[in-house]
Amino acid sequence: MMQACLAAACAALVVPNPVSAQQRRALTFDDLAGVEQVADPSLSADGRFVLYVVRVTDLAGNRRVATTYVQPVAGGDARAFPDDTTRATEARWSPDGQRVAYVARGQLWVANADGTGRRKLTQLTGGATGPVWSPNGQQLALTSGVYPACRDEACNADKAAKAEASKVKAHVTDGLMYRHWNQWDDGTRSHLFVVGLDGGAPVDLVPGATYDVPPGPFGGSEGYAWSPDGRELAFTAKLDTQTQAWSTDVNIYTIAASGGTPLNRTPNAKGADQNPVYAPDGKAIYYVSQRRAGFEADKWRLMRLDRATGASVELLPQWDRSTDAIVPLADGSALLLGAQDRGRTAFFRIALKADGMAAAATPTPLVLDGHNGALGLGANGTLAWTHDDAQHPAEVWTGKLGAGGVTEARAITRRNVVRLAGVDLPALEPFGFKGAKGDSVLGWVLKPANYVSGKKYPAILLIHGGPQGAWFDQWHGRWNYQMFAATGAGLVIINPRGSTGYGQRFTDEISKDWGGKVVTDLMNGLDAAIARNAWIDTAHLGATGGSYGGYMTNWLAGHSTRFKALVTHAGVFNLEAMAGATEEQWFTDWEFGGTWWNATAMQQQYRKWSPHLAAGKFRTPMLVMHGEQDFRVPINEGLSLFTALQRQGVPSRMVVFPDEGHWIGKPQNQQLWWKEMQGWFTRYLMGDRPLP
């Protein structure tokens, strides 16, 4: 079984060390920052070589430096591609394996497979990203930022230069989507281009379009694809309408590779449709779709669009998981799928019948353990992907796909094994319990670093964001479990109501109930963890979370006295104020049953579940952290919360990052974030008790 293979291979990653776990040191921020971040594998068509990127943190320079490597799958040393000095990313093999396209210094390049013969293919003002080869290897699709009114590169360059030189930085808008995630609308849009290897100018396939291809802020090359004959591309887009801030109506479009008028292939679907993938025979387009309009966490259904008739059919209506990735087998006999499943990100296979429909009601599991992504398939059945878990940072893995599953699974990169050999990294310990309505709910416990049996330790409850999200068995780059355990406290990690990967009903049951069943799940889970783990000191409990997790931390501050310390990051404090300032209006409309001026929604949701209404009960010491460029949960939420704490004399501290958004990403900012987070819990959970 693949699951057993993965577990064995993970064990093989551990370098033999005579030092016992009790003698190892806890993880430090320098250790975390020193981890080489392995990502984005690209497998050659013959399955013999894999390209991948490694990002190394330059703490002094407050940046991360990326280098692409190429490595034989069968074994052998990796070498930098195209050389030791070029900072290449997004490297992609040509269909024949003779060339590699990559992005360097913001532009698209191509080189021979050995790194020689390098040529720059673009010189675009808006840069180039997301290269995807055409089937014949003579063209590449990419995206670049343009001013929609411009019809040539000279116009884009002129407008960009004038915007940079202008002393006026005012934002003027006639619509609501004037800022998104952490950026103001600067007037540019991401457009889909095609460029040939012959050195001709890139061709904008959607000139004049006032929408992004693919939609921002996180869309990448998974948002567009070539047809097998190279004559057409499919792409994902959301029209620039007056309602876009409160609509999730994203659609699949097709367009001739030479340009023309885009054709909406999903006009009747009012939810989101995205990530098109052509069937190998060209008869269909596979994609994922959400049925319910306005709900960003609806189930992502696996769909098949018949190109001849235009009809779309759901392939796995009985499978209660969201499809995150689609990889067709070259012979069209099956699809490989990525999906969340019970705290893991897993791979599955669904066999297809001759008509392209699913041969079974549910897919077969292939890779289950840990956190898996970026799956690629070679012609000889070789697979390549990234795998990590709570004890191991991501590495590139390979295996063989056969009729019985995946065999020969192993990590071919070992970038961090030696670096972490002397660090005590406790394992996640899963447990289940009864939550609200008697449902089965799952979570993990993580013992503190250098745990000694028989001693008591504080514990921190981790609350994930979303709220439709999940904690995974993963090496998280920001909310790293081991960094919390390094404080000398253990962790209780719960996936309560609203979590993804446990079926759509479970996910749905947090909407319009933000402080209801989910609180029961969290408290029942904490009680269950305490009952199973005698080492947890119930007099020294903490809680923390970000986004919705920050909301719940704020809610608990006014509705529970069992915690001795709280840390809230980017947390919602005043629901009606947040609803009026957040940029994705569909989110609050769905979660609270309407706008904040809707009398019913106000009475039943906004005024029922808002933490600010219980601010007079705040007594627990709280650290408040927020990014000033956070447009999802705007900065006033953190400022208002801190005001309420300070005016009542509650021990509190606020850390604002002027140059960060919803997430804290810059290395030196992350260093301060962890210093404050760990320091707060050390002070209030360890301050009046001896350290173990």
Is it the case that residue 13 has pLDDT exceeding 60?
no
Is it the case that residue 690 has pLDDT exceeding 60?
no
Three-state SS at 271 = coil
Is it the case that residue 153 has pLDDT exceeding 60?
yes
The arithmetic mean of pLDDT across residues 215-241, rounded, is 96
The pLDDT, as a whole number, for residue 309 is: 97
Name, in order, each residue with C-beta under 8 angstroms of 8's C-beta and a sequence gap of 6 or more: none
Report how far residue 626's alpha carbon sits from residue 551's, in angstroms, rounded to the nearest whole number.
12
pLDDT digits (tens, 9 = 90+) for 23-59: 799 999 999 999 999 999 999 999 999 999 999 999 9
Instruction: Kindly state the tokens that stand for 673.
Output: 């974030």
> Is the N-terminal amide bond of 214 cis, ω within 30° of 0?
yes
The confidence band for 329, taking pLDDT boundaries of 50, 70 and 90, is very high
The arithmetic mean of pLDDT across residues 519-538, rounded, is 98
Asked if 122 and 212 count as a contact pair (C-beta separation under 8 A), the reply is no
Asked if 460 and 681 count as a contact pair (C-beta separation under 8 A), the reply is yes
Is it the case that residue 11 has pLDDT exceeding 90?
no
The pLDDT, as a whole number, for residue 75 is: 86
Report how far residue 457's alpha carbon sits from residue 536's, in angstroms, rounded to the nearest whole number.
5
The pLDDT, as a whole number, for residue 451 is: 97
The confidence band for 689, taking pLDDT boundaries of 50, 70 and 90, is low
The arithmetic mean of pLDDT across residues 423-441, rounded, is 97
Is it the case that residue 692 has pLDDT exceeding 90?
no
Q: How far is CA 275 from CA 214, 251, 272, 330, 577, in A?
A: 9, 10, 10, 18, 34
The confidence band for 687, taking pLDDT boundaries of 50, 70 and 90, is confident
The pLDDT, as a whole number, for residue 380 is: 86
The confidence band for 199, taking pLDDT boundaries of 50, 70 and 90, is confident
The pLDDT, as a whole number, for residue 379 is: 84
Domain ranges across the chain:
429-574+610-686
Asked if 273 and 279 count as a contact pair (C-beta separation under 8 A), the reply is no
Is it the case that residue 19 has pLDDT exceeding 70?
no
Least confident of 287-296, 431-440, 682-691: 682-691
The confidence band for 531, taking pLDDT boundaries of 50, 70 and 90, is very high
The arithmetic mean of pLDDT across residues 105-117, rounded, is 98
Report how far residue 31's alpha carbon sits from residue 27's, in angstroms, rounded to the nearest whole number.
6
Name, in order, each residue with C-beta under 8 angstroms of 4's C-beta and a sequence gap of 6 or more: none
Is it the case that residue 325 has pLDDT exceeding 60?
yes
- Count other Cβ atoms within 10 Å, centred on residue 577: 18
Q: Which CATH number is 429-574+610-686 given?
A: 3.40.50.1820
pLDDT over 90, % of the chain:
94
Is it the case that residue 5 has pLDDT exceeding 80?
no
